[in-house]
Structure 1
Amino acid sequence: MAPLRAGDPQRIGDYRLIARLGEGGMGTVFLARSDRGRTVAVKLVRGELADQEEFRARFRREVRAAQQVGGEWTAPVLDADTEAETPWVATGYIAGPSLQQVVGRGGTPLPERTVRILASGLARALQAIHAAGIVHRDLKPSNVLLTIDGPRVIDFGIARALEAVTDNGMTRTGATVGSPGFMAPEQVRGKAIGPACDIFSLGSVLMYAATGRQPFGTTETGVHAVMYRIAQEEPDLSTLPAGLHDLVAACLAKDPDQRPTPARLLAMAEGSATGTADAADTTVDTAADTTGESAAESAADDEPWLPGALIARLGRHAIELLEAENPEGESPATAPHPPLTPPPASVAPRPPRRRRRVGGALMAAVLLVLAGAATTYLLLNKDDGVRVEGKQGKDGQGPDRHAGNGGIPADYLGTWEAPAGTGAAVYRFTLKQGSPGDTVLTMTATGPAYRCEFRASLVKAGPPVRLGPSMVVAGKPTNCSPGSPSTLEMVDGKLRRAMEGQAPKTYSKKG
């Protein structure tokens, strides 16, 4: 983290900026916090890119697709404004260093066991990304973050948006599309790419994690030399531990059709790569969900997946984050917006499919530091029943006082409906005209055993239309819970409603 600079904004959307996290070809990334205390990473697009309609259109599509990706092994996209003068996107903040920082800064490769668990987590991340119809295109060590509970992948879809402004392989801001040492042969040759491109990049990432070296050399010998070797020569795996050789070599096959799918890679990484690739593909989660656990999975339950020194570093980072979240000179007790949510995913994460043990003494120390914030969160967000809409979210409890006074677009008004799941369950809402602060949305969620009624006020008329948190006006508390702020966007004649922490839902017009 670095301090904000003189020219940096103090707020972006509904988020107060705290520090700088980095800068790249797309723009600047800031550490930020919502008015209700959620810590996020906000990426603000470069002004010269925002002025290009082709880029903005591609960015709009990629953000929409990225919002479909689940957040267990990735940094979930929580919010965005693709129509702002300078577009931005907010993702869940992952409080952990990148693989590049861990291996590159100290020059210390990760143990073989850790690399296998890394491969397993990255395979699951790619499953989620590819299921949303996205090819990452720029999987590299700096886009892999390490947390106590496993790796997280960030910046999926970004490279595709940057392709809109490429010129002979370079963006107009001077950054390449993709990273030369981690590109696939089909990327180097300028051919059409698919999910297998990410598998090749993953193989290069694993080689780097295990040895500190790249399989085709570094760009110190020249970018074009590296690209030639990627396209024409075999990787140098001579320093790779023997136990990882087959795994990495399979990923680095020149022919995309010969590379393993994420499901097959998962089976290989977890030590249960038996049978054909087709069999592995049809049983995506059987490598760890069946009674026949793999040796790697069992070992992962017995001790932390990361070396002890790195876990200690993550604990220190969590403490630094808590300090950074409070304005200078204020204690957590006196800050105007004390944290109401748990710290980021690496310390108090949503439980992954299989948790890794951290170690009693160290984890106890970290949890003691975080106990106050976590307890406050639990007390203020207690939920005794089934969620219909989702938890109270990031935006605070009222409309944006600076929202514009324009009316809601006419084609957004009326009654809209979407299935709420299986069977006869359905969501139905009516949107009417109003000004910021007015109740403009009334909604029912009905199923065989429940009926909930909600209302929400207008924050900004848009488009897209921004609504405040939905409030329960009728229904049993055990079935109905208030929802987080939401955004309505017209997509091909239908309304897409996006809420924090949930997959967007598409509604059809009913009246």
Structure 2
Amino acid sequence: MSEPESDASLYSGFAPVGQVQCTPASVHGKALPDVVAGRYRIERLLGVGGMGCVYRARDLLHEQFGDPAPPVALKFLADSLDESPDGAALLYSEFALTRHLHHLNVVRLYTFEVDTDCQRAFISMELMQGLTLDRLLCEHPLGLPWHMLRSIALPLLDALAHAHQRGVVHGDLKPSNVMLCDDGPRLFDFGLGHAEEGMPGLARLSRTRFNAWTPGYAAAELLEGAAPSARSDLFALACVLYELAGGKHPYRRLPATQACAEGLERALRAPNNLPRHCWSALRTALALDASRRTISASDLQAVLSRVPFWRPRWQGQWW
């Protein structure tokens, strides 16, 4: 796949370079060396967000040995978090959580390193190229046709089910955290991720200081102070799938607590491009009350992957 003209907006939560005051060799104004950790030559800034910056870089070590390795992406924390006592541990936690997963549809992280000269920790990862789902939605304002929606939903649900089986909760699922690459959708940015008790290799963090849930996709229990869970992940992904199916967010992107107060769940209707047999399961995943969200990512995947029902040719396509 050829590289897009602008890959500056390819990473979740990160605004394109032209929308931020940031030079190609700085993190929120703090200068970085041209080569970090004696290995990665920074080429350009891809994007900036509240929690960090992502750069495109070349791996000089691989090049030295004649390996035509593709460019990589480097993620640094923003200055405000980097200066926090838990800053580097927060970035390492994202690395450890994602490294714990082995799935085609989850971003591949390579290393966690620290540049000793500038004292900045960073993650090296695959440089993804493609469209994030928020950009795809701009191209399909009425929603995606069923065959396209299904080709995105099934691998995403499989990736989420894999994460939950491994004890990892994503914590911040939203359209800009999923990219459509050549080999399918890729879930990334586990910066607000959470691990079940007993997972080894993770630093102890006071995560309450880093809660930055995206209001339109955060389950009500998250906004009320509960820890991220498989159920809160499923709610977020259900909102994404509903939006992909009909072009509109199920709760108008309002915080779930406000949607609950306004009784918006009672007004939910199946999106146009979703087969009828899938609506009951998706609606259950969209429940604002976590106790009524009695379905898993695997359950929803099974419903969406059922053999389509046959319909007479004059009544339209197969469902």
Contact 2:169 2:193 in 1 (8 A): no
- The aligned residue for residue 23 of structure 1 is 48
- For normalisation by structure 1, the TM-score amounts to 0.46
Shift of 1:234: 4.2
User: 1:383 — aligned with what?
Assistant: none
Cα 1:149/1:259, change in 2 over 3 Å = farther
Q: Does 1:153 align with 2:193?
A: no
Pair 1:213 & 2:248 matched? yes
* Residues 214 and 164 of structure 1, relative CA distance in 2, 3 Å threshold: farther
Structure 1, unpaired ranges of 5+: 272-293, 297-511
Which residue of 158, 166, 188 corresponds with 1:132?
166
1:69-148 equivalences in 2 (<5 Å): 69-81=101-113, 85-104=119-138, 107-148=141-182
Q: Do structure 1's residue 183 and structure 2's residue 218 form an aligned pair? A: yes
Q: Per-residue CA shift, 1:444-481, capped at 9, x if unaligned?
A: xxxxxxxxxxxxxxxxxxxxxxxxxxxxxxxxxxxxxx
Which of 236, 246, 259 is the aligned partner of 1:229? 259
Q: CA deviation at 1:166?
A: 5.2
Alpha-carbon spacing, 1:16–1:99, altered in 2? closer, same or farther (3 Å): same
Aligned-pair distance for 1:256? 4.5
- SS of match in other structure, 2:169: coil
Q: Structure 1 residues 63 and 7, CA, compared in 2 at 3 Å: closer, same or farther? A: closer
Higher mean C-alpha deviation, range 36-45 or range 152-161: 152-161
User: Could you tell me whether the CA contact under 8 Å between 2:55 and 2:75 is conserved in 1?
Assistant: yes
- CA drift at 1:265: 1.6
Structure 2 Cα separation of the partners of residues 193 and 177 of structure 1: 12
State the distance in 2 between where 1:22 and 1:98 align.
Answer: 13
**Which residue does 1:12 correspond to in 2?**
36
- Helix, strand or coil: the match of 2:168? coil
- 2:70 is aligned to 38
Name the SS of the counterpart of 2:120 in structure 1: coil
Give me the whole-angstrom Cα distance separating, in 1, the residues matched to 2:115 and 2:164: 26
Q: Which amino acid counterpart does residue 131 of structure 1 have in structure 2?
A: Q
Deviation at 1:191, TM superposition (A): 1.9
Kept in 1, the 8 Å contact 2:90–2:191? The answer is no
Post-superposition Cα deviations, 1:410-440, rounded to whole Å, max 9, x if no partner, equal: xxxxxxxxxxxxxxxxxxxxxxxxxxxxxxx
Task: Summarize the Cα distance change of 1:232–1:97 in structure 2 as closer, same or farther, 3 Å threshold.
Answer: same
- Give the distance between the partners of 1:131 and 1:118, measured in 2 at CA: 20
Report the alpha carbon displacement of residue 155 of structure 1 after superposing the two structures with TM: 0.6
CA deviation profile, 1:21-68 (whole Å, cap 9, x unmatched): 211121111122323323322111112211111233333233222211
What letter corresponds to residue 154 of structure 1 in structure 2? F
The residue aligned with 1:203 is 238
1:230–1:56 Cα change, 3 Å: farther
| Secondary structure of 1:107's aligned partner | coil
Query: Structure 2 CA distance, aligned partners of 1:159 and 1:230?
Result: 25
Match of residue 63 from structure 1: 95
Q: Could you list the per-position Cα deviations for residues 169-214 of structure 1 after superposition, in whole angstroms to 9, with x for gaps in the alignment?
A: xx5xxxx611111111211221233111111101000011122211
Could you tell me how far apart the structure 1 residues matched to 2:223 and 2:257 are?
Answer: 6
What is the rounded CA distance, in whole Å, between the counterparts of 2:261 and 2:184 in structure 1? 32
**Taking every aligned residue pair, what percent have the same amino acid on both sides?**
26
Residues 1:32 and 1:7: Cα distance change in structure 2 (over 3 Å)? closer
Q: Does the residue aligned with 1:156 lie in a helix, a strand or coil?
A: coil
Displacement of 1:16 in angstroms is 2.2
1:240 — aligned with what? 271
CA gap 1:177/1:188 in 2 versus in 1, 3 angstroms: same
DSSP-derived class of the 1:158 partner: coil
In the alignment, the residues of structure 1 paired with residue 153 and residue 291 of structure 2 have an alpha-carbon distance, to the nearest angstrom, of: 18
Residue 143 (structure 1) shift: 0.2
Task: Look up the SS of the partner of 1:240 in the other structure.
Answer: coil
CA distance in 1, matches of 2:122, 2:56: 13
Query: Which amino acid in 2 is paired with 1:191?
Result: A
Residue identity in the other structure for 1:11? V
Cα pair 1:204 1:214 within 8 Å, conserved: yes
Q: Which amino acid aligns with 2:102?
A: G
Instruction: Describe the superposition over 1:324-359 as per-residue Cα deviations: whole angstroms up to 9, x where unpaired.
Output: xxxxxxxxxxxxxxxxxxxxxxxxxxxxxxxxxxxx
SS in 1 for 2:172: coil
The higher radius of gyration belongs to: 1
Amino acid in structure 2 at the alignment position of 1:12: V
Partner residue of 1:259 out of 286, 289, 294: 294
* C-alpha spacing 1:179/1:143, structure 2 compared with 1 (3 Å): same
Q: Which runs of 5+ in 2 are unaligned?
A: 1-6, 9-16, 27-31, 63-68, 195-202, 310-319
Per-residue Cα deviation, 1:259-312 (whole angstroms, up to 9, x for no partner): 3212212211101xxxxxxxxxxxxxxxxxxxxxx349xxxxxxxxxxxxxxxx
Q: Structure 2 length normalisation: TM-score?
A: 0.72
Shift of 1:153: 0.3
